[in-house]
Amino acid sequence: MTQPTTSPYGTWKSPITTDLIVQGTTPLVQVTFHGEDLYWIEAHPSEGGRNTVMRKASNGFVSELTPAPFNVRTRVHEYGGAPFIVNGDHLYFSNFDDNLLYIRNENHEIRPITSNSAHRYADSTIDRLRGRLYWVQEDHTESAIFAETTIVAMDLDGSNERNIVSGNDFYSNPRISPDGKQLAFLTWNHPNMPWDETELWVADLNEDGSVSNAKKVAGSPGESIIQPVWSPNGTLYFVSDRTNWWNIMRVKGDDAEAIYPMEAEFGSPSGVFGISDYDFINETTIIAAYTQNGARHLAIIDVESSEITFIETGDTAFSSVHSNGKQIAFLAASPTKFPRIIRLNAHAGNLEVIKASSELTLDPSYLSLPVPIEYPTEGDKTAHAILYRPKNADYIAPTDEKPPLLVHVHSGPTGMSSSILNLTNQYWTSRGFAVVDINYSGSTGYGREYRERLKGN
């Protein structure tokens, strides 16, 4: 084994080059099931970042469902997200260039089902009993900047579109109960964002697709409610930060109860549609991703006994968590692995990598592993960061030297630095620099009080 060369920090040669950093990766988002088929969106950097829907069928065959020039993306609420939904052999999606909704039918034919480009659509749910689609719609007819946001219903061919919920500034997460009788949705008003203050409403669904008897079931001043999900037996669950931490709760009569109170975040800032940090495997079992002390974890929760079982995959980031009852799928990444789509048997536990965002393999001897640290900040409080020390198997520094330190501050205001593999950080650490990724006061992942420290500052 070659002895490492002694050389000053910052002068080391590294195999992690700028060319390697910009080498093609395939961003992966919004993994979901329909039956036993697995769907996801992947972006193609070589095509200007065009988003396309991919499917891995139950027989193992992988296919692209929305070939060029279609770009499956929406700009509802500007940030977009959740631009497609599947119903049997039919795929419905929003096309970015013209904002129209399209259908891909069982014969693989693609055609538009809406005609007004001033209307944008996202975050759909399907009433399969009556053959009807519900979407969050953003209407830019009067202004390119200011828009009216509503929830609309339409027939499966796009006809008979009408507003069914309106009056507030923003809506998201329309979700139909398993028996098809009720529609749950989130709403909030300017200047709040979803991580500030939202309300959860439930309304009865009428045969014509309209709603009646709308009632607020959760949401108080200063409470952020996100990710409502109906359990298979018709109980409505949601994530609330009323205890300072985004915990999973369920509606119980005129109140709600936490199923597993914990100083951890079982939710993420809902800047985009379609975020899913938990899902039901069956009536009593939830698969959930959560953040604690700056790291992500995956666990199974029994909602009757409130017992939690942790799942160890070696990863430190999880998102887009879904289950079809037999299988679990999610996006995962770690300090040494790029994001991957993983499918897990809900009962046997065997793990399968469906797709990796990059096929690039790196020698771990050049990778610096992250270390969570805390540091004192204003008002005698503590803030958080992730430290990467210099690491290169070919070099050591003189014993009397300290490394130069690069400080990275993530975008905000509610972002969070993650410990997943980041070649830009590794570019520097493999050359003898230390890097610290700051999760400053105002970042997410550490509770509402920490998130709100940035307000007014």
| Among the ranges given (89-98, 137-146, 271-280, 436-445), the one the predictor scored with the smallest mean pLDDT | 137-146
Residues 102 and 248 in one domain: yes
Let me know: does 263 contact 291? Beta carbons within 8 Å. Answer: no
- Residue 349 has what pLDDT? 72
pLDDT score of 45 more than 90? no
Residues 382 and 242 in one domain: no
% residues pLDDT > 90 (the chain)? 85
Q: Are strands 395-396 and 285-292 parallel, antiparallel or unpaired?
A: unpaired
- Residue 348 has what pLDDT? 72
Let me know: does 354 contact 342? Beta carbons within 8 Å. Answer: yes
Per-residue pLDDT tens for 60-98? 999 999 999 999 999 999 999 999 999 999 999 999 999
Question: Can you give the CATH number for the domain in which 105 is found?
Answer: 2.130.10.120
| Among the ranges given (2-16, 71-85, 139-153, 177-191), the one the predictor scored with the smallest mean pLDDT | 139-153
pLDDT score of 237 more than 90? yes
- Residue 39 has what pLDDT? 98
Domain boundary among 313, 337, 356: 356
Q: Tokens 């260039």 label which residue?
A: 97
pTM, 2 dp: 0.94
With CA atoms as reference, report the closest residue to 437 among 392, 381, 370: 370
What average pLDDT is seen over the chain? 94
Question: Can you give the CATH number for the domain in which 382 is found?
Answer: 3.40.50.1820
Two tokens at 91?
């795929």
Give the structural domain span for 290: 26-356
Provide CB contacts within 8 A for 233, sequence distance 6+: 178, 283
* Alpha helix stretches (DSSP H) within 145-184: none
What single-letter DSSP state applies at residue 59? T
Q: Are strands 434-439 and 405-409 parallel, antiparallel or unpaired?
A: parallel
Domain boundary among 340, 356, 372: 356
Q: Tokens 């771990």 label which residue?
A: 364
Residue 259 dihedral angles phi and psi, to the nearest 5°: -85, -25
Per-residue pLDDT tens for 302-319? 999 989 999 998 899 999
Residue 15 dihedral angles phi and psi, to the nearest 5°: -75, -10
- The average pLDDT across 403-432 equals 93
Per-residue pLDDT tens for 18-33? 888 877 789 999 999 9
For residues 233 and 242, give the distance between their C-alpha atoms in angstroms, rounded to a whole number: 25
Task: Return left, alpha or beta for 6; rule: phi > 0 is left, psi -120 to 50 is alpha, else beta.
Answer: beta
pLDDT score of 330 more than 70? yes
Residues 237 and 150 in one domain: yes
Residues 138 and 40 in one domain: yes
Let me know: does 452 contact 421? Beta carbons within 8 Å. Answer: no
Count of domains forming the chain: 2
With CA atoms as reference, report the closest residue to 370 among 355, 356, 384: 384
- Residue 143 has what pLDDT? 76
Domain boundary among 356, 390, 419: 356
Residue 71 dihedral angles phi and psi, to the nearest 5°: -125, 105
- Residue 1 has what pLDDT? 59
Q: How far is CA 198 from CA 191, 221, 227, 267, in A?
A: 11, 8, 11, 14
- The average pLDDT across 194-220 equals 95
pLDDT score of 230 more than 80? yes
For residues 238 and 259, give the distance between their C-alpha atoms in angstroms, rounded to a whole number: 10
pLDDT score of 338 more than 90? yes
Two tokens at 219?
């949401």
63/350: higher pLDDT:
63
Residues 319 and 392 in one domain: no
**Local confidence band at 390 (pLDDT 50, 70, 90 cut-offs):** very high
Q: How far is CA 11 from CA 257, 404, 436, in A?
A: 57, 11, 19
Two tokens at 210?
């309209």
Instruction: Encode 33-47: b = buried (16+ Cβ within 10 Å), e = exposed.
Output: beeeebbbbbbbeee
Q: How far is CA 148 from CA 63, 118, 136, 183, 189, in A?
A: 36, 11, 11, 20, 12
Let me know: does 224 contact 218? Beta carbons within 8 Å. Answer: no
Residues 407 and 437 in one domain: yes
Question: Is the bond preceding residue 191 a cis peptide, omega within 30 degrees?
Answer: yes
Say which amino acid occupies 32.
T
Q: Are strands 225-230 and 211-218 parallel, antiparallel or unpaired?
A: unpaired
Residues 265 and 179 in one domain: yes
Residues 409 and 351 in one domain: no
